[in-house]
Structure 1
Amino acid sequence: MTLSLSDRIDELSRSRVPFVRATVVRAQEPSSAHPGDRAIVLADGSIEGFVGGHCAAGSVRTAALAALDSGDGVLLRVLPDTGEAFPETPGASIVVNPCLSGGAMEIYLEPVLPSPVLHLVGASPTAEALATLAPALGFVVQRADDVPGPAGSVAVVVSTHGGDEVSAIRRALDAGVGLVGVVCSRTRGAAILDELAPTPEERARVHPHVGLDIGARNAPEIALSILAAIVRAIRVDGLAAAPAPAGATTALPRTAVDPVCGMTVTVMADTPHLHHDGTDYWFCNPGCRDAFAASLAS
């Protein structure tokens, strides 16, 4: 049974698959799309749903993949090369598509990215408080007992209170995690670092006695201070998730410039293509490809 677009969006969200939700906001005739038409664009460039014909969809695909890469939403204005336009909208990204058959369009592109993963090691009161508070801030909590490793996590917090902290820290560092916090005293933290013997680059990622100084005294307050430090690292310092396990991500498809109309197109299996004299050319639609082929033959 074919899923509705809403069901497909729910499925992708549950599976933590990144995608872009595209919604037609405005469309002028003779555009084939109408306000409210929707589609999703996946990281491999595939489009599910409808936001216009071949040329408009190509512009949406290319802009959506850029939005997926940046994580920022964008209002895409697609204009034919006829002077047709909507009134100016601050913050819009404008694409003039010479091959569009008429009808200016505006499409809102909203990247939908998986929630950041917080990997917890230990079953201490602080770890339990973190597991309770973190989802309210949009984190997905993983426990070391339930998943094979911390790859793909934005941060790891080790709260074993005397357990094998060094091994847990080493696994997180080797997985590329950018913030590895340890719930411990400053004295214990110094001893952990001596035993760990991290490189200078690794030392910058390890945070003994983790958390902002808010005078925390109990487990929920300590958890709050730790989450505040992680949020600050994400929002202020640009902390990103560690690389996902091999094979879990899809590389963004490459782009090319249509030699006829100058449009930037995303190279897909169905992108109009021509191989000539040892060079590959890609086009926004078959018309541009045929025109280019004719110019080579003349």
Structure 2
Amino acid sequence: MTHTIGDRAGELLAGRVPFVHATVVRAQVPASARAGDDAIILADGSIEGFVGGQCTESSVRVAALGAMRDGESVLLRVLPEGSGEFPETPGARVVVNPCLSGGAMEIFLQPRLPRPLVHVVGQSPIAAALFDLGGPLGFDMRRADGAASGAPTALVLASHGGDEPAAIRAALDAGVGWIGLVASPRRGAGVLSELTLDEGERARISTPAGLDIGARTAAEIALSILAEIVQEVRSGRLAVGSTGAPERPLGERPVEAVDPVCGMTVVVGPDTPHLVVDGEDVWFCGPGCRDRYAAEQAGR
């Protein structure tokens, strides 16, 4: 990893911004990239660094956003159309890129996702159990002062009292995606009755917090709460990230289109080449396909 990319990765990790680190593992001449070249791909599809030309970037962008969404590393093999054999590597994802001028490539895509940040309010046995279990389960557990500062992934109110309506309202206004209130169904309903909630806000509040696993002890209740947060994150309903949260939730598929010239799948973004034909947007992998399509349309 180059010094510049390394510094940028450190900044993103410190800011809890998800990204994918792409590293060229192998490249055949005449590919423009070389083994060791690397780049960062952000959740909006932007690429910082170099892993090949524009056609290679299109394939990397699509695969990287999928890796970020799934949380799984991918070895991407990019082959030009009609290329000769490339040595097999178990577990590789193969993409035939019709626009590639030549030179097969292998690129390792590693998602770097922040740990879910959970703020906990209260000093109860359940709050203590949340801290005991949260760390080993991969959560970044921190104490809150009754309201969520910043925008953590989740907030758990385990104080069994206090000004819970105010804490919930503050968390909603701060953009917290999941708020768990530890309370009986009756008390939880009473707390929520003190709030004016729209449908979207109500959907972000869970009370009684936690999955119904028949929990009785403090540790079991804490386990059920963390399990519900895991469920929300894995389903894509809860984005992981705070001040640097992605513009698009990780579970949401990016907008994709098919280049009508080469047949490649491209991620639609502000810099994706496109034309407006008969009032419809047509997207392309690069300027070459766009210009060819434009010429064909002009000759009709």
Q: TM-score, normalised by structure 1?
A: 0.76
Cα 1:227–1:108, aligned 2, differ >3 Å: closer, same or farther?
farther
Superposed, 1:248-259 pairs within 5 Å as: 248-251=245-248, 254-259=255-260
Q: Decide which moves more: 232-241 or 29-38.
A: 232-241
**Is the 1:25–1:107 Cα contact (8 Å) retained in structure 2?**
yes
Instruction: Determine the structure 1 residue equivalent to 2:285.
Output: 284
Instruction: Determine the structure 1 residue equivalent to 2:79.
Output: 79
Cα 1:277–1:47, aligned 2, differ >3 Å: closer, same or farther?
same
Residue ranges of structure 1 left out of the alignment (5+ in a row): 217-221
State the identity %: 51
Q: Which has the higher contact order (CA 8 A, sep 6+)?
A: 2
Cα 1:233–1:208, aligned 2, differ >3 Å: closer, same or farther?
closer
1:160 and 1:231 map into 2 onto residues whose CA distance is: 16
User: What code does the residue aligned with 1:228 have?
Assistant: L
Q: Secondary structure at the match of 1:137?
A: coil
2:272 and 2:172 map into 1 onto residues whose CA distance is: 41
Instruction: Determine the structure 2 residue equivalent to 1:219.
Output: none
Cα RMSD, aligned residues only: 3.9
2:268 pairs with 1:267: yes
Q: TM-score, normalised by structure 2?
A: 0.75
Cα 1:160–1:235, aligned 2, differ >3 Å: closer, same or farther?
closer
Superposed, 1:58-207 pairs within 5 Å as: 58-124=58-124, 127-128=127-128, 130-131=130-131, 134-145=134-145, 148=148, 152-154=152-154, 156-165=155-164, 168=167, 180=180, 182=182, 189=184, 192-193=187-188, 195-196=190-191, 205-207=206-208
2:42 pairs with 1:48: no
Task: State the 1:273 CA deviation.
Answer: 2.6
Aligned residues: 285
2:284 and 2:30 map into 1 onto residues whose CA distance is: 22
User: What code does the residue aligned with 1:15 have?
Assistant: G
Work out which of the two has the higher radius of gyration on C-alpha atoms and give 1 or 2: 1
**Is the 1:56–1:100 Cα contact (8 Å) retained in structure 2?**
yes
Task: State the 1:49 CA deviation.
Answer: 1.1
Cα deviation 1:35-79 (Å, max 9, x = unaligned)? 222111011211111111111111101221222233332222111
Instruction: Determine the structure 1 residue equivalent to 2:26.
Output: 26
**Is the 2:114–2:240 Cα contact (8 Å) retained in structure 1?**
no
**Is the 1:258–1:265 Cα contact (8 Å) retained in structure 2?**
yes
Cα deviation 1:13-39 (Å, max 9, x = unaligned)? 110111111112222222122222211
2:67 and 2:160 map into 1 onto residues whose CA distance is: 42
Task: State the 1:152 CA deviation.
Answer: 4.6
Q: Decide which moves more: 132-141 or 24-33.
A: 132-141
